[in-house]
């Protein structure tokens, strides 16, 4: 791909685990492209390998400073490049596993809370809307672990089609799932809530009666949607 802009567009569209990036590209260079990739949601899981003819210590340091994970100079041995790519893929996979709940495939609470604080700060800084949708299995303490796991998988199946690229879904605690929706107005967030409620009612039937769905919303310095949603549910904050 010829330009940094094209590389950035590819990362936004495809969400790869690893990117091999040249420094010298038409338009936006590789350093700036990497910097902008790191500003994307979930960018911490992306592994960036620079492959460049620029081989000074300053170039290498700049690549790492802009968010690169590795830097390989030209000319290069193809087997060496493949080995570095394999290493990067392994690291990316381990990073992904460390941030995901193994049952639902959603992000875990630890990673979610990091992202939540970042989005809250961004909302404060730029006066943006921020919404959080919580789904609680109200009888979760009375279900055996397998039943609860199966119920959560069904909820996620209904939730996934509603998740946009800018959204962030996680398991907050066992039996409580959360969808964070940055830059989402109240009416749009309410529409997501209605669609999810309707789909769960159709797919789960009577089981959907055991679910409680709460919506929290805020804007700018008043953006505390998670606390607002938690306050209406029997969930420890």
Cα(62)–Cα(89) distance, integer angstroms: 22
Same domain, 201 and 87: no
pLDDT at 40: 83
Q: Do 132 and 217 fall within a single domain? A: yes
Residues 50 and 82 both lie in one domain: yes
pLDDT given for residue 160 in this prediction:
94
CATH number at residue 217: 3.30.70.270
pLDDT at 227 over 70: yes
H helices present in 39-136, as ranges: 57-65, 78-99, 109-126
Does one domain contain both 125 and 59? no
Query: Residue 96 — pLDDT band, cuts 50, 70, 90?
Result: confident
Please tell me the predicted confidence (pLDDT) of residue 1: 58
Number of domains in the chain: 2
pLDDT of residue 237: 45
Residues 32 and 142 in one domain: no
Kindly report the CATH number assigned to the domain that includes residue 67.
Answer: 3.40.50.2300
- Among 99-103, 156-160, 166-170, the range scoring the smallest mean pLDDT is 99-103
Task: Say yes or no: 93 and 179 in one domain.
Answer: no
Which of 140-149, 192-201, 218-227 has the weakest average pLDDT?
A: 218-227
47-52 and 70-73 strand pairing: parallel
Is the pLDDT confidence value at 209 over 80? yes
Asked if residue 79 and residue 128 are part of one domain, the reply reads no
Mean pLDDT, rounded, for 81-91: 92
**Last residue of some domain: 42, 69, 99?**
99
Residue where one domain finishes, among candidates 99, 117, 152:
99
121, 93: one domain: no
User: β-strands 18-21, 168-173: how paired?
Assistant: unpaired
Assess whether pLDDT exceeds 90 at residue 50.
yes
The angle, 0 to 180 degrees and rounded to 10, between the axes of the packed helices 57-65 and 30-38 is: 20
- Last residue in a domain, options 44, 73, 99: 99
**Quick one: 59 and 130 in the same domain?**
no
* Same domain assignment for residues 27 and 127: no
Residue span of the structural domain in which 207 resides: 109-231
Helix count and strand count (H, E) for the chain: 8, 7
Spell out the residues 6+ positions from residue 69 whose beta carbon is closer than 8 angstroms to its own: 47, 48, 49, 88, 91
Residue with tokens 């959907």: 208
237 lies in some domain: no
* Per-residue pLDDT reduced to its tens digit, 31-49: 999 999 988 877 778 999 9
């Amino acid at each position: 791909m010829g330009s940094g802009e094209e590389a950035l567009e590819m990362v936004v569209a495809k969400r790869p685990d690893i990117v091999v990036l040249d420094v010298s590209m038409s338009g936006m260079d590789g350093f700036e492209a990497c910097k902008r990739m790191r500003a994307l949601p979930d960018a911490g899981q992306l592994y960036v390998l620079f492959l460049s003819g620029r081989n000074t210590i300053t170039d290498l340091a700049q690549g790492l400073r802009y968010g690169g994970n590795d830097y390989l100079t030209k000319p290069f041995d193809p087997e060496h490049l493949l080995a570095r790519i394999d290493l990067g893929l392994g690291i990316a996979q381990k990073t992904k596993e460390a941030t995901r709940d193994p049952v639902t495939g959603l992000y875990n609470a630890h990673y979610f809370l990091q992202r939540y604080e970042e989005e809250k700060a961004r909302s404060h800084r730029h006066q943006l809307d921020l919404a959080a949708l919580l789904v609680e299995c109200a009888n979760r303490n009375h279900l055996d672990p397998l039943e609860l796991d199966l119920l959560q998988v069904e909820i996620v199946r209904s939730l996934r089609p509603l998740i946009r690229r800018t959204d962030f879904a996680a398991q907050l605690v066992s039996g409580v799932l959360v969808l964070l929706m940055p830059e989402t107005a109240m009416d749009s967030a309410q529409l997501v809530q209605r669609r999810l409620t309707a789909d769960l009612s159709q797919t789960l039937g009577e089981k959907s009666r055991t679910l409680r769905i709460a919506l929290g919303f805020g804007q700018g310095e008043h953006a505390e949607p998670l606390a607002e949603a938690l306050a209406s549910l029997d969930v420890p904050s």
